[in-house]
Amino acid sequence: MTVVDVAKTLTIPYIIKIQKRLYYSRRLSILTTFSAVIIAFGVAGLFFTIIGLNPLEVYSYIGGVFASPTLLLESFKRAIPIGLAALGLSIAFRMNFWNIGAEGQMYMGMLASTGIVLLHVYYGLIPDYFVLLLMLLAAFFTGGLWCSLPAFLKAKMKVNEILTTLMMNYIAMYLADFLIYGPWRDPKGYGFPLSVPFPEYSKLTIIFGEFAYGGLLLLCLTAVLVFTILKYTKLGFELKIVGESIETARYAGINLSKVVTVGGFIAGGIAGMGGLTIVSGIIGRLRPRASPGYGYTAIIVVLLSALNPWLIIPVSIFFGGLFVAGDILQATLRIPGAAVEMYQALIFLFIVIGEFMKRYKITITRRVFG
Amino acid sequence: MNELVSLKGIVKHFPGVLANDNVDFTLRKGEIHALLGENGAGKTTLMNILYGLYRPDSGEIYIEGRRVEISSPKDAIKLGVGMVHQNFKLIPSHTILENIILGLKEVGFIINYKKISEEIKKLAESYGWRINPNAYVWQLTAGEKQQVELLKLLYRDARILILDEPTSVLTPQECRILFQALRRMAGEGKGIIFITHKLDEVFAISDRVTVMRKGKVVVTKETSKTDMSELAQYMVGRPILFTIEKKEPKPSGEAIIIKNLKAFNDKGVLALKGVDLVVMKNEIVGVIGVTGNGQQELVEVIAGLRKAAEGSILIDGINIVNSSPDRIIKLGVAYIPPEPLRYSIAPNLTLVDNLFIKAYRYKPYSNGILINWKKVYKKADELVKNFQIISPSLFTKAKSLSGGNLQRLILARELSGLIGDRIPRLIVAAYPTKGLDIGATEFVHKTLIEYSRKGSGILFISEDIEEALMISDRVAVMHDGRIVGIFKPGEVDIEKIGLMMAGVQGASTI
């Protein structure tokens, strides 16, 4: 299919054509993904040079994160909520449900788990050993609801999920603000917008004494769960067909609204569990803006991993490391923390460009004058 | 110079396919040249090269003796080459005149509608067509739209006209009008390339015929010096039987009873205006009609994919109107939809996934939560063998299967009793041979007849009258959302069927 004929207008003796590729290989896909990361590094380096920094020095700080055991452990911690949200997204994206709302689903997970903790601390309604399990269920359920609502609207009424999920992020975030500045503020907290600190048995550290280990275990178990759902269950097969072609799914007698709503529920539920790991693992209490955008980073992670649940784990560790590097750069080189977010955005931009580019090929042939 | 077009040694590769292998082709002034071949033989690729949509990997193109490079349809039109595609490329909400002058630089900034309108009218009349240039394209019949497409080319002074399967949407009467006009154009010295896979058309219209098979030209001949069976043999590479043997049906009970069925189309217009039809078990009922007279809506309502406004459909005594597709599938209704790649195949999923796109959720392949892939693979292997699906493996993506193999896959899925382990009560087959080559068409016909004699009732939608007459036990003609006549093949002559399809009053009273 001809798209542009550049040479024509310039009367060059060559014909440059951009043609649509009929097929592209797996190797090409991997190559474009890697190129996106590398090019993003290069462009970010250009930016660092302009603001008067030595890009090599910046890179060495970033690389240093993965070389130091303590910082690596810190990266693991950050990777856990990112990875969980990304695993949720891998289910949603499989059925072409473009969920931008992992961030909001995480906030709902945080609120639900904090709610359980407060119920326990203030009213003592729940036995100690039961608290964490109940938090987990509540986080899953609330995150799931937050995602299945836009999913249901999409399946039933074709409401655009990109808009609804994005907008629901703000609702969740400001709801968290309202609660933490209002009724959930710790009365002994000197007026700071913080919840009561979580008691020990409500923290994920109780499993292995160190959140990073317990969290990684949770992440891996969830990856196994997601893989099993996609590969071996009826629902996974239905998700795949719905993602491939709505027409075909309808033809095959698949109950679209049920599949999309249930798929959305599981996707949001897993993201909600990611929210739980932030408050009960990383921070140990609820505070405003508890997630620095893990839910958005998860979108990049899941695209870089090509929806593969196993790949999501290492890729989220890489992005966890970038968050840690951002903190360090802020402290040492006094670069605004936004620099790392910018780098993430660059990766995303180049992935999108790469996705487009790999579908086309450029051919140059000599023009024959008749 | 007598030769309008000369293609020499054209080679075109697509990934994994050699679409044109050293093809030579000539078109003379004033001739109608039929380009005959099965689907995938490379005819359309060759013509797309001549029209500038593809570039050949090697080979030369001469137009009126001059070596040319055609790198876009714009180049082609400048050289006098025009193409009418199978699917019309007109803008429905614009008038005929607007469609014709669209993209034409010569028209200038201020459009002289009156003058152009006169010119178009005159041009149309010279071919015996009566059109109003200010009519909107959406108001036109398929035949008229095709006339507009041709006028578009003629208005640009095209001397070389390529028509890609132009009769597939026309009634016999419209075909005749088209053929007359083409004759007149050839008489003016224009060259016409007529792409087709229907043998009778070759003899009805062409002066010469070129047969292609697997990317190569097999033969170019004067049409008067060959006959049908010879051409068929060139086309397929082996002799073909033109009749199908079938036993008399022994209808036993109704497979489906449709009563006063009414339904709207996607635009909210009543497309089914009261359909009454019965298909018995052991019987094939063919429904013919010009595409767009409600056939699509009818099959969709039966399959549960479209809501009915009124009426009933009884299958085994149960009214299935507005039931879910799942429920209808479970009642034993198999549905072979038109355009498999859009409606019934997930192109990026594998062969085995597509085979089990319905059966995956039923016993013994699923226990309600998990899918038993072991059982699935075992059954799939068996089906691939029984239905002669040719594929490198069970895990080949459906989109890389050929049209014939895809249709075999669909037949295997729909007919083999994957669901409930019995043959279907009713098979709804909508245009199941459209776009298939002769070999695959034969397979589909044989399979449908075989199942009808095993006890399935078959509702067979076709736009090819000959095909419908050949395989059906009874034929129903559909026009404007109604069944306007039902008869046995041989009872009514083809002329009258054509009139019924066109909706001529009184034609349906046999």
Structure tokens, A99: 């969920």
Instruction: Find the CATH number of the domain harbouring A124.
Output: 1.10.3470
Contact status of A3 with chain B (Cβ, < 8 Å)? no
CA–CA gap between residue A346 and residue A338 (Å, rounded): 12
Q: Do B358 and A233 touch (CB under 8 A)?
A: no
Mean per-residue pLDDT, A30-47: 88
Contact status of A255 with chain B (Cβ, < 8 Å)? yes
Give the residue with greater pLDDT, B469 vs A227: A227
Mean per-residue pLDDT, A188-214: 86
Same domain flag for B147 and B283: no
Helix H or strand E encompassing B68: strand B66-68
Give the residue with greater pLDDT, A2 vs A248: A248
- Res. A18: pLDDT tops 80: no
Does B124 fall in a domain?
A: yes
Chain B residues within 8 A of A250 when measuring between CB atoms: 305, 325
CB atoms within 10 A of CB A200: 10
Q: Transcribe A205-248 into DSSP letters.
A: HHHHSSHHHHHHHHHHHHHHHHHHHHHHBHHHHHHHHHHH-HHH
CA dist list (Å): B441 to B244, B407, B455, B467, B470: 12, 9, 22, 10, 12
**Minimum mean pLDDT range among A54-58, A313-317, B247-251:** B247-251
Does A365 fall in a domain?
A: no
Chain B residues within 8 A of A367 when measuring between CB atoms: 69
Contact status of A183 with chain B (Cβ, < 8 Å)? no
Same domain flag for B293 and B215: no
pLDDT at position B508: 53
Mean per-residue pLDDT, A290-313: 93
Of residues B55, B67, B72, nearest to A370 (C-beta): B67
Helix H or strand E encompassing B411: helix B403-415
- Res. A6: pLDDT tops 60: no
Nearest CA to B237 among B14, B437, B400, B405? B437
Chain B residues within 8 A of A15 when measuring between CB atoms: 55, 69, 71
CA–CA gap between residue B32 and residue A123 (Å, rounded): 92
CA–CA gap between residue A103 and residue B227 (Å, rounded): 71
Residue window 48-107, chain A: list those with CB within 8 Å of chain B.
Answer: none
Same domain flag for B295 and B196: no
CA–CA gap between residue B35 and residue B210 (Å, rounded): 5
Q: Could you give the number of structural domains in chain A?
A: 1
pLDDT at position B87: 79
Same domain flag for B74 and B201: yes
Q: Do B346 and A254 touch (CB under 8 A)?
A: no
Helix H or strand E encompassing A261: helix A256-277
The model's pLDDT over A117-148, given as tens digits with 9 standing for 90+, comes to 999 988 888 888 889 999 999 999 999 999 99
CB atoms within 10 A of CB B251: 17
The model's pLDDT over B137-172, given as tens digits with 9 standing for 90+, comes to 988 888 889 999 999 999 988 999 999 888 877 877
Same domain flag for B191 and B293: no
Chain B residues within 8 A of A1 when measuring between CB atoms: 53
Q: In what order do the strands lie in the sheet with B318-319?
A: B270-280, B254-264, B310-315, B318-319
pLDDT at position B404: 81
Does A23 fall in a domain?
A: no
Q: Do A237 and B369 touch (CB under 8 A)?
A: no
Domain boundary among B236, B266, B294: B236
pLDDT at position B329: 92
Helix, strand, coil abundance in chain A, percent, nearest 5: 75, 5, 20
CA–CA gap between residue B37 and residue B21 (Å, rounded): 14
Could you tell me which residues are beta bridge partners of residue B211? B36, B219
Q: Could you give the number of structural domains in chain B?
A: 2
Q: Do B72 and A2 touch (CB under 8 A)?
A: yes
Q: Transcribe A22-63 into DSSP letters.
A: S---HHHHHHHHHHHHHHHHHHHHHHHHHTT--HHHHHHHHH
Chain A residues within 8 A of B428 when measuring between CB atoms: none
Mean per-residue pLDDT, B327-349: 88
Mapped onto helix, strand or coil, the DSSP state of residue B240 is coil
Same domain flag for B232 and B338: no
Q: Please count the residue pairs, one from chain A and one from chain B, whose beta carbons lie less than 8 angstroms apart.
A: 89
- Res. A369: pLDDT tops 60: no
Residues in chain A: 370
Provide the shortest C-alpha distance from residue A238 to chain B (in Å).
9
CA–CA gap between residue B317 and residue A29 (Å, rounded): 54
- Res. B28: pLDDT tops 70: yes
Does B248 fall in a domain?
A: no
Does B344 fall in a domain?
A: yes
Same domain flag for B334 and B430: yes
Mean per-residue pLDDT, B470-486: 91
CA–CA gap between residue B136 and residue B133 (Å, rounded): 8
* Domain residue limits at B385: 254-501
Q: Transcribe B141-176 into DSSP letters.
A: -HHHHHHHHHHHHHHTT-SEEEEESTTTT--HHHHH
pLDDT at position A3: 45
CB A186 within 8 A of CB A196: yes
Nearest-10 crossing angle of helices A294-304, A309-332: 130
Contact status of A25 with chain B (Cβ, < 8 Å)? no
The model's pLDDT over B281-334, given as tens digits with 9 standing for 90+, comes to 999 999 998 778 899 999 999 999 999 999 999 998 899 999 999 999 999 999
Helix H or strand E encompassing B220: strand B216-222
Does B243 fall in a domain?
A: no
Question: Which of B324, B357, B376, B397 has the highest number of chain A CBs within 10 A, making it the mutation to test binding with A?
Answer: B357
- Res. B1: pLDDT tops 50: yes
Question: Which of A1, A26, A237 has the highest number of chain B CBs within 10 A, making it the mutation to test binding with B?
Answer: A237
Q: Do A251 and B325 touch (CB under 8 A)?
A: yes
pLDDT at position B287: 95
Q: Enter the DSSP assignment of A280.
A: I
- Res. B20: pLDDT tops 70: yes
- Res. B509: pLDDT tops 70: no
Helix H or strand E encompassing B7: strand B3-14
The model's pLDDT over B110-146, given as tens digits with 9 standing for 90+, comes to 888 888 999 999 999 998 888 899 999 988 888 889 9
Same domain flag for B168 and B298: no
CA–CA gap between residue A237 and residue B361 (Å, rounded): 9
Q: Do A23 and B15 touch (CB under 8 A)?
A: yes
B396 phi and psi angles, rounded to 5 deg: -75, 140
Could you tell me which residues are beta bridge partners of residue B256? B279
Of residues B69, B305, B328, nearest to A370 (C-beta): B69
Same domain flag for B192 and B324: no
Residue window 28-57, chain B: list those with CB within 8 Å of chain A.
Answer: 52-53, 55
CA–CA gap between residue A317 and residue A82 (Å, rounded): 8
Q: Cβ contacts of residue A258 below 8 Å, gap of 6+?
A: none
Residues in chain B: 510
Contact status of B395 with chain A (Cβ, < 8 Å)? no
pLDDT at position B121: 92
The model's pLDDT over B414-439, given as tens digits with 9 standing for 90+, comes to 998 788 778 899 999 999 988 777 77
Does B510 fall in a domain?
A: no
pLDDT at position A168: 97
Residue window 220-249, chain A: list those with CB within 8 Å of chain B.
Answer: 232-235, 237-238, 240-241, 244-245, 247-248
Evaluated on CA atoms B102, B108, B111, B114, the torsion sign reads negative
Same domain flag for B422 and B474: yes
Q: Do B69 and A253 touch (CB under 8 A)?
A: no
Contact status of A219 with chain B (Cβ, < 8 Å)? no
Does B165 fall in a domain?
A: yes
Instruction: Find the CATH number of the domain harbouring B390.
Output: 3.40.50.300
Label residue B247 exposed, middle or buried (CB < 10 Å: 0-12, 13-18, 19+). exposed
Of residues B69, B305, B371, nearest to A237 (C-beta): B371
The model's pLDDT over A277-289, given as tens digits with 9 standing for 90+, comes to 999 999 999 999 9
Of residues A245, A248, A368, nearest to B69 (C-beta): A368
**ipTM field:** 0.83
Domain boundary among B180, B201, B236: B236
Does B152 fall in a domain?
A: yes
Does B21 fall in a domain?
A: yes
CB B50 within 8 A of CB B79: no
Contact status of B70 with chain A (Cβ, < 8 Å)? no
> What HEC string does B253-267 produce?
CEEEEEEEEEEECCC
Gyration radius from chain A CA atoms: 23
Q: Mean pLDDT score of chain B, rounded to an integer?
A: 88
**Minimum mean pLDDT range among A71-85, A173-187, A329-343:** A329-343
* Domain residue limits at A180: 54-334
Q: Cβ contacts of residue B97 below 8 Å, gap of 6+?
A: B113, B116, B117, B120, B133, B134
Chain A residues within 8 A of B325 when measuring between CB atoms: 250-253
Q: Do A368 and B342 touch (CB under 8 A)?
A: no
Same domain flag for B220 and B258: no
Q: Mean pLDDT score of chain A, rounded to an integer?
A: 88
Mapped onto helix, strand or coil, the DSSP state of residue B340 is helix
Evaluated on CA atoms B482, B488, B489, B493, the torsion sign reads negative
Q: How many CA atoms lie within 13 A of A277 on its CB side?
A: 30
**Minimum mean pLDDT range among A18-27, A120-129, B215-224:** A18-27
Contact status of B325 with chain A (Cβ, < 8 Å)? yes
- Res. A15: pLDDT tops 70: no
Helix, strand, coil abundance in chain B, percent, nearest 5: 35, 25, 40
Distance from chain centroid for Cα A22: 30
CA–CA gap between residue A184 and residue A201 (Å, rounded): 20
CA–CA gap between residue A195 and residue A181 (Å, rounded): 9
pLDDT at position A298: 96
pLDDT tier, A4 (very low <50, low <70, confident <90, very high otherwise) = very low
- Phi/psi region, residue B65 (left: phi>0; alpha: psi -120 to 50; beta: rest), is left
Nearest CA to B302 among B339, B259, B267? B259
Same domain flag for B153 and B270: no
Q: Cβ contacts of residue B464 below 8 Å, gap of 6+?
A: B288, B433
Provide the shortest C-alpha distance from residue A21 to chain B (in Å).
9
Could you tell me which residues are beta bridge partners of residue B68? B61
Report whether the peptide linkage leading into residue B364 is cis, meaning its omega lies within 30 degrees of zero: yes
Contact status of B58 with chain A (Cβ, < 8 Å)? no
pLDDT at position B365: 92
Q: Do B345 and A23 touch (CB under 8 A)?
A: no
pLDDT at position B244: 66
Question: Which residue, chain included where needed, has tokens 């994206």?
Answer: A93
CA–CA gap between residue B302 and residue B120 (Å, rounded): 44
CA–CA gap between residue B413 and residue A180 (Å, rounded): 57
